[in-house]
Amino acid sequence: MSLTDPVADFLARIRNGIRARQQKVDVPASKLKLEMARILKEEGFISNFKATEEEGRKVLRVYLKYGANNEAAISRVQRVSSPGCRVYVGRNEIPRVLGGMGINILTTPRGVMTGREARKQGVGGEILCEIW
């Protein structure tokens, strides 16, 4: 199965996993998705992730995070830039998500980072998604 938008697939699987109250979701692994998972973990949206191999395929296993009352740490996942319509921002145009409550993930010339990091480092890039 060929995917036209692997990042949207990654986000959709996380969204569906949370709706189904699953502990973990498996996603085909890639460097970009590993970086996105790293950011989600650092920002406290997922509890953990690990890259494994199953039947010769690299798989990224994402462990979802729920609070005390079984509410998910992620309430909304939104794809911003898509293959058909890329969304680029300059370093001064990086939007705040929910007044700083959420994060956006950008690909920049310095790698994948949150909007906050990109603002701090003074780089712009392509907004992949917003999460809160």
> Domains along the chain?
6-131 (3.30.1490.10)
CB burial class (10 A; 0-12, 13-18, 19+) of residue 59?
middle
Q: In this predicted model, what pLDDT tens digit does every residue of 62-74 receive, in sequence order?
A: 999 998 888 889 9
What region, left, alpha or beta, does residue 127 occupy, with left being phi > 0 and alpha being psi -120 to 50 degrees?
beta
The alpha helices in the chain, defined as continuous H runs, are: 6-19, 31-42, 115-121
Q: What is the pLDDT along the chain (132 residues), one digit of tens a residue?
A: 556 899 999 999 999 999 999 999 999 999 999 999 999 999 999 999 999 999 999 999 999 999 888 888 999 999 999 999 999 999 999 998 988 789 999 999 999 999 999 999 999 999 999 999
Helix axes 6-19, 31-42, angle to 10 degrees: 40
Place of tokens 């994060």: 103
- Considering the entire predicted model, what is its pTM? 0.92
